[in-house]
Chains A and B, each alone.
Chain A
Amino acid sequence: MSGTVTPPDAAIHLDDVSKVFGKADTEVYRAVDGLDLDVRPGQMLALLGKTGCGKSTIFNMIAGLTAPTSGTVRVDGRDPFGDFNSFRGKMAIVFQNDRLLPWRSAIQNVELGLEMLEVPAAERRATAQLWLSKLGLGGHENDYPHALSGGMRQRVSIARAFATNANILLCDEPFSALDESTAGRLRAEFVRLVKENGKTAVFITHSISEALEIGDRIVVLKRPATIAYDVSFDAGTGQQERELIRARIGDVLAA
């Protein structure tokens, strides 16, 4: 365990993090190699990289679903893997596929995180109903996942993530399985909701356009996951400058 101290202005802090898959004596695959990364509270970070560059491994380490082989991962100053249960209600995840429980209706799926937080049934139902309405799913509360389209299912999974009011949102290419028009609409809704609710978000993507649309900071990763390019921008960043960033990212990814 590294003795580093989390910077006070970092919601997420990775210090010299490596992840190796395989048996202890024979290294098989180094997915992440000495990564340093800080994410400020309220920041929307887009982690961009080619398939297999270790994005999902970083995602799983921040989510506390896997432990780093070496280095330190801290979320709000705590170890998300070691202090797993202390993050109940503090972190929510939107996965690449909707991962709805097929035996639960849309509203019951949205209530899932609230059940873990012991929220009373009536309040739970009202919150779930509110988020389904916000995401345009009013009237589909009692539909089972198989009766919903791919876009609707992903909306339910976004509602499920927002319903717990967690401060940190982790998103693993949540719109990659949808058609471009649905993905575009959902992306815009997602950005609006994140900004409105002041969340810190880490958004994994392999699309430059998506990263530019979503993030106010883009980190480009090269294999094994190390930072190849790190750029921040805001709403005031002009189109010309964005095009320069796009071109630079393209060059880094092609290198």
Chain B
Amino acid sequence: MMLLGGVRRLGSSALPFVVVIALWQFASLFFPRFLFPSLIDVFWRCLEIFLNGAMFADVLSTVLRILAGLAGAFIIGGALALLMVRSRAVDKFLSPILTLFQGIPALSWVVFAIIWFHGVEFRILFIMVMTTLPAFTFQVLGALRGMSRDLMEMVFSFRPTRAKLFRVMIAPAILPDILTAWKVNLGNASRVVVVAELVGATGGVGYQLLQQQQLFDMAGALAWTLQLVFFVLTVQGALTLIENAAFRYRAVSERAI
């Protein structure tokens, strides 16, 4: 019974992908290869990227750029959020600046980085941090402000040290919002990194996409894009596993929303 339920759930979540794949493959029968290549070709190209050391190094460099950018933005954003929650003056000063940053398109940051900096890696790190920093800061700030005052007072009544307060109260209370922030920003970062590499890098998935565009190679473009999609899905899956383990204390209602 449970096995049947599991198969049914797997089937229903796989169905949209099966439909898209079938439509693409059907289109490949009627359109030229440079528009809709066969997915079998795309699969072999994916495998080639995965097995070829030099090519896979490009995928890894993009992955590392995404993770480094997100980690940098998270650390800086978390620190800014802590300062903002502790001081109204800091909040009043930083909030408009971060809001302004949110309005600047990712492509503008790419142009600024190319004009301001020489090093490729630093340029990309700068772009990644600047584009994801406001979201991380506001999300951590919201989580800190949303902490239960009652629970905070209860923990305070035991006179914790700062480190213990953070460990027993603040970290577990804001963890759900932090994981959500990572999930949201991961998607944004994977889009931004491609733009940054497309314009200002000599390697990585974005750079390879530029090569495929110049060669009019749709199978290659798809294969390189899928590398990034696999990475995002893998990290999202890992974050979901962490969520399931960390939030097992939550009550589950029999009636869904």
Contact = CB atoms under 8 A, between A and B. Distances in A.
Interface of A: 63, 65, 84-85, 87-89, 91-93, 95, 97, 99, 101-105, 112-113, 115-116, 144-147, 164
A63 B249 CA distance: 30
A99 B154 contact: yes
B155 interface: yes
A84 B159 contact: yes
B158 interface: yes
A202 B247 CA distance: 36
B172 to A, nearest CB: 5
Nearest to B172: A103
B158 A164 contact: yes
Interface in B142-163: 150-151, 153-161
List 10 tightest A-B contacts by C-beta distance, closest first: A146-B251, A88-B159, A99-B154, A144-B249, A116-B158, A93-B157, A103-B172, A113-B158, A103-B249, A85-B159
Contacts of A103: 172, 246-247, 249
Nearest to B176: A103
Interface of B: 150-151, 153-161, 164, 168-169, 172, 246-247, 249-251
Given A99-B154, A103-B172, A116 B249 contact: no
A99 B158 contact: no
A101 B153 contact: no
Looking at chain B's contact residues, is the secondary structure mostly helix, strand, loop, or mixed? helix
Contacts of B160: 116
A112 B153 contact: no
Nearest to B175: A103
Nearest to B154: A99
A220 B156 CA distance: 28
A97 B159 contact: no
A65 B249 contact: no
A136 B206 CA distance: 63
B164 to A, nearest CB: 6
B249 A102 contact: yes
B159 A146 contact: no
A89 B169 CA distance: 18
A112 B150 contact: no
Given A84-B159, A115-B168, A146-B251, 5 more contacts: A88-B158, A91-B157, A93-B157, A102-B250, A144-B249
Contacts of A92: 157-158
Nearest to A113: B158
Contacts of B155: 101, 112
Contacts of A93: 154, 157
Contact of B150 (A85, A97, A115): A97
Nearest to B159: A88
Contact of B249 (A84, A97, A146): A146
A95 B154 CA distance: 8
A95 B153 CA distance: 10
A45 to B, nearest CB: 18
A93 to B, nearest CB: 4
Contacts of A145: 249
Contacts of B164: 115-116
A146 B158 contact: no
B157 to A, nearest CB: 4
Contacts of A91: 157
Nearest to B153: A65
Contacts of A105: 249
A92 to B, nearest CB: 7
A101 B150 contact: no
A105 B172 CA distance: 13
A112 B249 contact: no
Given A95-B150, A115-B164, A146-B251, A65 B158 contact: no
B169 A101 contact: yes
